[in-house]
Structure formats: C-alpha cells, structure tokens
Amino acid sequence: MNNELRTYRAFTLIELVVAIAILVMVIFFASMIFRVSISSYRAAAANAEMMQKLRAITDQLNADFKGFRKDGYLILHSDMLNRKEYVSSVAPVDLRADRVCYFSTGDSQSWKVPNVRSNITKVYFGHDYRSLNDAAFPVCNWSLARDVKLITPGFSDIDANSISYAEFKANVAGTENEARNLLASGIPIDIQANSDDVRGLMCRNIGEIKIEWTTGIKAPGDMVSWFGFLLPSGFPVEAPGPPYIATWTPLTPEQFWPEAIKFTFKIYDSKGILKQGRIFTHIVYFGD
C-alpha cells in the first residue's frame, strides 16, 4: 500500500495582514456610506418638515388676504427684539418680530360653539406671547400664532365678539386701540396652562418674521420699493420705531394702501437637524 504525502499551502503572515487591511477598508467605507445616507435622510426629513410648515402658513395667508376687508383696518406692528437665536448662542442678536391685525371675509365656525358661524373675522397673525416676552426663550423654538375672533353681533365667547362689524367701523379709534394692545404683547397663548390655547398655534419653530409692503412705487432701476422700517414720504406712521406701528383704515389716502405685502420667515426643524434654519419669502396681493 502506497502512502502518499500530501502538503497544504497556508496563508502567509503578509497575506493575512493584507486581507485584514482590505476588510477594514471595506467596513470603513461601508460605514461612511451608511452615515452619509442617514445624514441625507435626516436632512431631507427636516427640509420636508419645514416645507410643510411653510405651506400651512402661506395657504392661510392667501386665504385671509383673498377675503381682506379694506373697509376695516390693517395694523402692522414691526419690532426688533434682542434675543439668543439658539440655546448655545454666545450672545443675543437683533431679530425682527413683526405681526399684523386685520379683518377678513370667509365662512368661519366657532370651535367652541359649532352652530355659531360668521362671514367676517378679526385676525391676529404673529408670534405668541411667550416668544415675544420670554427673554430666555431661544428664537429657534418660537411659535407662530393666528388668533381669530368671529364677528357675531349679540353673542360673545372665547373666539367670538358680540360687537357688529358696523360698530367696529363706526368706532375706528377704539378698534385700533384694542388691536394695538394685542399687537404690543402678542397672543397670550399658554399651552401648558390651557389646552384650548393650542387652537391658536399655527406652527412651532418659527423664528424671525419680517413684514414689508409695497404701494407700487418704483425705485431707480424700475424695481418695486418694499417698505418696512423705511417708510414712503408722507406716510402717516404713528411711531417711527423700532418698534413702529403702521395703520391703514378707510380714512387712509388711497396712494398709501399696500398693493402687496411680503412676509419673510425663518423656519427651523423641530429636531434641530438643520441648525441654521431656512429663510422663506411669500408675497400676498390684495384682491387676488
């Protein structure tokens, strides 16, 4: 019986080292691709969230100003607040916190008393009370509010006002004072203390809001002039500011009524993925 001697070739130490190095490189690049994929997914989700907020805001503004009542009033309170944009911010910065109050036409229903309806509402649009008045609250966490009061003669409740629209128009000074007081401090929303207040909350994580308008005046270069803290000559501004209050009523000369209003928002995502947020601009045209 013949005995055969069999020999087997093993890996050398160098081959093992090379194989391990290649494996480490594969794992490293795979983990890099995985991290990039996760980061891209999170950024896409954050962008989608911000676009969803923007759509909610712009749809509401378009609906409100489509039914805007020019025989009522439009009051703009433009403010500059010195606040920290993020919790980690080293120092506060000056940021705009503009808000408006106006009348709008549309079929509206009371959330508290479902059978109460009105075709005219008084609208506040701007930051909520805490955002405007809590100096320690970072801007990236501010909330946007929209408070609506139905004009319901003879009936009064949390979202309904018993004074008729005719009475509002007859008492322009009193109506303006009421709106100014509201604009000065913002809607007193306190979600923690009152669950009903959440009904006035439009979006969270809405930072700086700048509101400008144009009367159709063209600047050199045939560009439309947008006014904010800079006002057109002769405009009847009540306070030069900041803050300043600009008011339009049926008594305001026609040439000073806006043809369009431009809203500029800084929106953040709720998880802070895109830490710098994004700036969006939306223009509404009167009568559209």
Give the count of domains, the chain. 1
What's the pLDDT at 235? 61
Structure tokens at 287: 């009568």
Q: Does any domain span residue 105?
A: yes
Q: Does any domain span residue 6?
A: no
Give the C-alpha separation, 58 to 95, whole Å.
21
Q: Does any domain span residue 163?
A: yes
Q: Does any domain span residue 8?
A: no
What's the pLDDT at 158? 80
Structure tokens at 52: 């969803």
DSSP H or E run through 44: helix 13-66
What's the pLDDT at 263? 94
Q: Does any domain span residue 4?
A: no
Residue 122 CB coordination number (10 Å):
25
The whole-model pTM stands at 0.80
- Provide the domain limits for residue 128: 13-285
C-alpha neighbours within 13 Å on the C-beta side of residue 93? 12
Q: Which of 284, 285, 254, 245 is nearest to 71 (CA)?
A: 254
DSSP state of 128: B
For the chain, list residues with pLDDT below 70. 1-11, 172, 191-193, 195, 216-224, 229-242, 287-288
Give the C-alpha separation, 70 to 151, whole Å.
16
Q: Does any domain span residue 135?
A: yes
CB 273 within 8 A of CB 43: yes
